[in-house]
Amino acid sequence: MAGATGLLPEAAGEELDAYLARWRQAAAGRDAVAETIAALARATAEIAALVRLGPLAGALGAAAGAANADGDIQKKLDVLANDAVLKALRACEAVAYFASEEEEEIQSLRAGGACAVAVDPLDGSSNIDANTSIGTIFSVYPASPDGATGSFFRPGSEQVAAGYAIYGPFSALVLTLGAGVDMFVLDPSGLYRRADAHMSIPRSTREYAINASNYRYWLEPVRDFIDDCIAGAEGPRAKDFNMRWLASLVGDTHRILSRGGVFLYPADKRPGYERGRLRLMYEAAPIAFLVEQAGGDATDGLTRILDKVPGALHERTPLVFGSSDKVARIVEHHADSSHARIRSPLFGKRGLFRA
Among 35, 46, 103, 123, the one annotated catalytic? 123
Among 14, 35, 103, 120, the one annotated catalytic? 120
Among 14, 35, 101, 228, the one annotated catalytic? 101
Question: What is the rounded distance in angstroms from the CA atom of residue 288 to the CA atom of residue 346?
Answer: 38
- Coil, strand or helix at 54: helix
Bridge partners, residue 135, by sequence: 123, 166
Look up 283 and say whether it is catalytic: yes
Look up 120 and say whether it is catalytic: yes
As a dihedral over the C-alpha atoms of residue 298, residue 45, residue 148, residue 181, rounded to 10 degrees, the angle is: -30
Q: Which of 350, 313, 76 is nearest to 224 (CA)?
A: 350
Q: Which of 224, 226, 223, 221 is nearest to 209 (CA)?
A: 226
Look up 240 and say whether it is catalytic: no
Q: Which of 138, 140, 155, 160 is nearest to 253 (CA)?
A: 138
Look up 268 and say whether it is catalytic: no
Look up 158 and say whether it is catalytic: no
CA distances from 88 to 47, 71, 165, 263 (A): 12, 25, 15, 31
Among 35, 103, 182, 283, the one annotated catalytic? 283
Among 15, 17, 70, 72, the one annotated catalytic? 72
Among 122, 290, 306, 313, the one annotated catalytic? 122
Question: What is the rounded distance in angstroms from the CA atom of residue 168 to the CA atom of residue 236?
Answer: 36
Look up 313 and say whether it is catalytic: no
Look up 78 and say whether it is catalytic: yes
Return the H-helix or E-strand segment holding 150: helix 147-152
CA-based max dimension of the chain: 65
Look up 187 and say whether it is catalytic: no
Question: Are 75 and 62 contacting, i.e. CB atoms less than 8 angstroms apart?
Answer: yes
Q: CA Rg, the chain, in Å?
A: 20
Question: What is the rounded distance in angstroms from the CA atom of residue 163 to the CA atom of residue 169?
Answer: 19
As a dihedral over the C-alpha atoms of residue 311, residue 313, residue 317, residue 322, rounded to 10 degrees, the angle is: 120
Among 46, 78, 268, 297, the one annotated catalytic? 78
Active-site residues, by number, are: 72, 78, 101-102, 120, 122-123, 283
